[in-house]
Amino acid sequence: MKGILPASCRIIGYALLILSVFVPLLMYMFGMVDDTNLLYVKMSMKLVIWLSLFMVFLAKAKEEDAEAASLRSKAMQYALYVWGLYYIVLLVKGAVEGDLQVADNSVGIVYMVLNVLVWEFFLQKRRMEKMFRRK
């Protein structure tokens, strides 16, 4: 799976991710969030998080080659396994506590976060392996 967005989208994605965390907090501190617009703030925050995670994950790597494409596919597979385990744990926890709404809360975002984390790990691992192979 090759990256379809330009490499600069990776930096923009991380900037949007940071903004999506801190802007709602600042809005709350300045009294701009209340009961009438809380749902809209939450929805827009999740939308920006989704967009930024997709921008990071689908941006081309600086050295985009077949190996980077295979790392992206591998990252998706490992993230899917970890996400499955996470979801099962949430279901069991919800069943024990009698609150099954817990399992339905932002699970897709957790999957994309895991995708991005595993992707970044594989990219850094590949970079280190190349650096130490040269010497």
Same domain, 81 and 115: yes
CA separation for the pair 11, 72 (Å, rounded): 17
Residue 95 is part of which domain span?
63-135
The reported pLDDT for the residue numbered 133 is: 82
For the range 123-126, what are the long-range contacts, defined as Cβ-Cβ under 8 Å and sequence gap of 24 or more? 123/61, 123/68, 123/71, 126/67, 126/68, 126/71
Q: What is the pLDDT along the chain (135 residues), one digit of tens a residue?
A: 677 788 888 899 999 999 998 999 999 999 999 888 888 888 888 889 888 988 888 888 777 677 777 877 788 778 778 877 887 887 788 778 887 676 666 777 777 788 888 888 888 888 888 888 865
User: How many domains are contained in the chain?
Assistant: 2
What amino acid is encoded at 74 in this protein?
K
**Selection from 120, 107, 125, 116 nearest residue 17 by Cα:** 116
The reported pLDDT for the residue numbered 15 is: 95
Same domain, 54 and 85: no
| Six-digit token string for 99 | 């609150």
